[in-house]
Amino acid sequence: MEADFVVVGAGSAGCAIAYRLSEAGASVLVIEHGGTDAGPFIQMPAALSYPMNMARYDWGYVSQPEPHLNNRRLACPRGKVIGGSSSINGMVYVRGHAMDFDHWAESGATGWGFADVLPYFKRMEHWHDSGHGGDPTWRGNDGPLHVTRGPRSNPLFQAFVAAGQQAGYETTDDYNGEKQEGFGPMDQTVWRGRRWSAANAYLRPALKRPSCSLIRAFARRVVMQNGRAVGVEVDRGRTRQIIRARREVVLAASSINSPKLLMLSGIGPGQHLAERGIEVIADRPGVGANLQDHLELYIQMAASQPITLFKHWNLFGKARIGAQWLFAKRGLGASNQFESAAFIRSGAGVPYPDIQYHFLPIAVRYDGRAAAEGHGFQAHVGPMRSLSRGHVSLASPDPRDAPEIRFNYMSHPQDWRDFRTCIRLTRELFAQPAFAPFVKHEIQPGDAVQSDDALNDFIADHVESAYHPCGTCRLGRADDPDAVVDPEGRVIGVDGLRVADSSIFPRITNGNLNAPSIMVGEKISDHILGRDPLPPSNETPWIHPDWRESQR
C-alpha cells in the first residue's frame, strides 16, 4: 500500500489534487473515511437539508458551549463521504472578493494575491451563462467544475433584486466577475440537474486513470521518521496499517480534521501536545488556532400570496418534485433554490462588501423545518469578516475522539454592531415597493424586536453557523511563528507534508467557501508538482467609487 502521494480526505481540495497529480502521471492514493455519495439525498440539489443532517454523511461535530450565545452548542457539519463537504453543502458558488486574496498576500501568503489566484479559479471552472448575463472574460469555460444558475422563475427572486435597486444599491450581473458588490443572480455547482460536487467534477475522472485509487479507511496520524512524513497510519476495517508515501503526504481533511491530524502526529502547540501525552515533533502554536466562520440570521417574512415553495412542503408535493427529478433531472428538485443574492457594504468607509445575502422563497431552517406561519420567504444575512477567533484542540490522544471546537462566536463587540446593522438593513429591503405585493408581516425577529438590547437577545438565541469554518492551519511566511504552512502549503518545521484545504486560509473570504477551497487544491497541486504557477492576471476588480463617503 504505497504511492508517490497519499492524500487524506476526498473533499473539495483533495479531489482536485488527486485529479491534477494523477493527470501529471504521479501515483496517488486518496484516503476517505466516508462512503459512497450515490443516491438522491446527495445528488438532488433541492434535497440539501438531508445529507448535512445524516450521520451517514456527516462527522456530526458540534462546538463547545458558546459563552456569548447563551452557552448554545452550534452544529459544525463536515462531509464524511466521497466529495467531502461539497457533497453535503448548499452548492452556492462564490469565489470571494479580490481584496480578500490581496489581504492574504499582505499578511504573508506571498503568491496568493487576487492576480495569482484568479487564473486558478478560471482553470477549475466550466461556466455556463445560459444567456443570463455574466462576465465571460473573468470566467473559465473548460474546467472540470460546472457552474450554472437557477431559472429564477419565482417572482420573489426578481423582487429581491428590485428591492435592492429601490433602496439605492448597485446591481451586478456576476458577483464572481469584475463586480461583486450589488444584487443579482446566484451561481450554483449544479449541472444537468445534479449536484456537481468535487467528487463528480474531479474524483470520478481521476479514478478512471490507473495512477489514482481510493481507499476507505480512518486516518489516525501521519507517520513521521526523522522529521519527515513517510505515510499515514489508518484503520481499515479491523486492521491497522500504514499507507506509505514515496514523495509526500497531503492533508486535505478539513479545517477541523487537518489540525487534529497534525496534532495527533506531534505537530502543534507543544504544551497542549505534551499534556495529551503526544511526543512533540514540531512546536507550532498556530495549529488549531485562528478558527473562523460566518454566522447568519434568517430574517423571515410571512407572504400575502401563496407563491412560495411552501405549497410543495407536504408529502405529495415532495413526492412529485422527487419523481420529476428522478426521471428527468428537472423541476424544483434541480436547483438549490438559492437563486438571488447580494453583497453589500455595511457603512461608508468600508472598501468592499462585508455583508452577504442568500434569498430563499420559503421560510425554512437548514434542518428542513418550515416556519409555523406557512407561506413565507427569507433572507439569510450575516457579516463576512468577524473579528472573533476560536480554536480546535484535542479532547484526548485517541484519534477516534472528536476534537474540541471552540469558535468563540460573537466575542468581539463589533460583531454585535455588525449583526444589528444586518437586521436593520434587511428590514429596510423588505419595506421597499418591490415587496409590497408579497409581504404580510415579519415572522422573525418580529416587529416588537427593535431596541439594541432586544436585537442582541434575538441574535444570541437565533444566530446560526453558515458552516464555513476555516483558518486553523494558516498560510504565512516560513519565519512567522503563528503560520502553519508556507506559501507552497508545506508544513513548516517538517519535510514531506503539506496541508491543502480551507484550514490554510489566513482570513475567511467573502461568501461560501467551496470555491476557494477547490482553488487551494488546484494551486497547491502545481506547487507539489514543482511547476511554475499560472501567469498572474491583469484584471482589475470594481470598487465602489464613493466607498469612503457612502454606504451604497
Q: Was 280 annotated as part of a binding site?
A: no
Which triple of cell numbers denotes residue 44? Answer: 438532488
Q: CB–CB of 181/220 below 8 Å?
A: no
Strand, coil or helix: 460: helix
Any residues with CB less than 8 A from the CB of 119 and at least 6 apart, and which? 534, 535, 536, 537
Which triple of cell numbers denotes residue 199? Answer: 467528487
Helices 413-430 and 452-462: crossing angle, nearest 10°?
100
Q: How far apart are CA 137 and CA 421, in angstroms?
A: 35
Which triple of cell numbers denotes residue 19? Answer: 485529479
Q: How far apart are CA 540 and CA 221, in angstroms?
A: 43
Q: Was 92 annotated as part of a binding site?
A: yes
Q: Was 28 annotated as part of a binding site?
A: no
Q: Was 81 annotated as part of a binding site?
A: yes
Strand, coil or helix: 215: strand
Q: CB–CB of 270/118 below 8 Å?
A: no
Give backbone dihedrals phi and psi of 313, rounded to 5 degrees, phi first.
-85, 55
Helix, strand, coil % (nearest 5) of the chain? Answer: 30, 25, 45
Helices and strands, counts by H and E, the chain:
13, 25
Q: Was 79 annotated as part of a binding site?
A: no
- C-beta neighbour count of 182 within 10 angstroms: 23
Which triple of cell numbers denotes residue 75? Answer: 452544529
Among the listed residues 68, 97, 468, 544, the single catalytic one is 468
Work out whether the CA dihedral 527, 533, 534, 538 comes out positive or negative.
positive
Q: How far apart are CA 10 and CA 203, in angstroms?
A: 8
The residues pairing with 406 across neighbouring beta strands, listed in sequence order, are 391
Any catalytic annotation for residue 468?
yes
Q: CB–CB of 489/475 below 8 Å?
A: yes
Work out whether the CA dihedral 34, 39, 45, 51 comes out positive or negative.
negative
Catalytic residues: 468
Annotated binding site for FAD: 81, 89-92
Annotated binding site: 81, 89-92
